[in-house]
A and B are shown apart, each in its own frame.
Chain A
Amino acid sequence: MNLLIRKFYYGDIPEEKGGGSYYQTEQDTTTWPLWEVFIRSKQGLDHKHVGSLHAADAQMAIENARDVYTRRMEGVSIWVVESKHITASNPEEAGELYEPAADKVYRHPTFYQLPDEVNYM
């Protein structure tokens, strides 16, 4: 591919002060899929999402996750799942999903007023 390169300056560098150059690029025929990484920081705690990375397969994803996300003993266990398998809720449906819980204060223990004499409850 022969591309005309318009230069865009990033950060706070104004873009109009640009030039141009040609560079021959060749695309990879395949790309490694994206994986989401979850790490258990110590025994007894949940796995927590820490980020994502690219890898050819699950085994490589775990090995890469070890290098990228646990260089300072941040984990004792790693889960990886290909990002395409994750279904996320839609932020636009937040109302329908979460508002029904908002008016049910009786689900919390503090809703109930008990006499002071009642202990351990």
Chain B
Amino acid sequence: MPVQDFEQLFQQKIDAEVKIEPKDWMPDAYRKTNIRQISQHAHSEIVGMLPEGNWITRAPSLKRKAILLAKVQDEAGHGLYLYSAAETLGMSRDEMINDLHSGKAKYSSIFNYPTLTWADIGAIGWLVDGAAIMNQVMLCRTSYGPYARAMVRICKEESFHQRQGFESLLVLSKGTPEQKAMCQDAINRWWWPALMMFGPKDSESTNSDQSMKWKIKRKSNDELRQNFVDMIAEQVKVLGMTLPDPALKWNEERKHYDFGEINWEEFWNVVKGNGPCNKQRLEARRKAHENGRWVREAAMAHAAKLAERRKQEAA
């Protein structure tokens, strides 16, 4: 069969909502796009542990510390589900890790912002995980089977992340004047970077059309961003806080909130590696990987020795 026929059959499967599985035929570009997106997603989960890790030892109570530990452990788990989903497409774990550490692969820019106060941990849960969830819920229906299955598992766990973040801010919002101010300050700093998480505007986004056709993505960046603004603009009222956007206003005609323009210059700067913490994050990852090398090698040597001993005992 000529390639065009395979491509046609492939598109028919996608259109009929049949999931694509690892051994099925798929166009090269579909494989590449999925590897790129899934591994980027995995890297984001892994790097995402770093800003939060900063506060594990500084959490204000044992309860908050246990919650934060559980959350960070979840992020590690999510990274692992996603790495193994990407591996089914034929890229090795080592290659992916290498691409992250060399700077070839990207992770979500949001993690290049620093966590300056305890309220940032709440704001990350509510805004950053909230934005991630909008994207992830859509991805539960993505066309590549292993990716969709990983996302279903992730979504189940992620909802706790957002709720604990909001609850933690709610406590601050009812606290002392200092705590209230800290809460508002964290919201002010995280709001715009959270909006940037949805990526460039649809008009600037080059990969979107094909990804929509292949049902890797099912909603556009702008659509998801609007849903997010509509949701958060209501929730912020419960906190008695405000969002740092004077243009934010309900539009009765559109039945959506209007909101101000994102600072795209900042967005591209952070993407290009000039964010406040890009260097620090990558260095932390490289250091962990390099310092762990002897452990990985020792574990293999130990496993080989045990296997050898068992063989001799059996003989």
Contacts and interface: CB of A to CB of B under 8 A. Distances in A.
Interface of A: 3, 5-15, 17, 19, 21, 23, 25-32, 34, 51-54, 56-57, 60, 67-69, 71-72, 88, 90-92
A3 B271 contact: no
B63 interface: no
Contact of A57 (B24, B104, B199, B307): B307
Contacts of B268: 17
A12 B199 contact: yes
B299 interface: yes
A8 B104 contact: yes
Contacts, number: 121
Given A9-B271, A10-B40, A34 B87 contact: yes
Interface string B86-101: 0100001110001001
Interface of B: 21, 23-25, 36-37, 39-40, 70, 73-74, 77, 80-81, 84-85, 87, 92-94, 98, 101-106, 149-150, 153, 157, 199-200, 204-208, 211, 221, 268, 271-273, 286, 290, 293, 296-297, 299-300, 302-303, 306-307
Contacts of B204: 14
| Residue with the greatest number of chain B CB neighbours at <10 A, chosen from A53, A67, A68 | A68
Contact of A91 (B24, B37, B70, B153): B24
Report, nearest first, the 8 A-B pairs whose CB atoms are least far apart: A10-B40, A57-B303, A56-B299, A12-B199, A56-B303, A12-B205, A10-B106, A52-B84
A96 B296 CA distance: 44
A28 B293 contact: yes
A32 B199 CA distance: 35
Given A7-B272, A9-B271, 5 more contacts: A12-B211, A14-B205, A28-B293, A90-B23, A92-B25
A23 B105 contact: no
A13 B306 contact: no
Contact of A5 (B24, B70, B103): B103
A88 B23 contact: yes
Contacts of B21: 91
A9 B98 contact: no
A27 B94 contact: yes
Given A9-B271, A11-B40, A57-B306, A51 B81 contact: yes
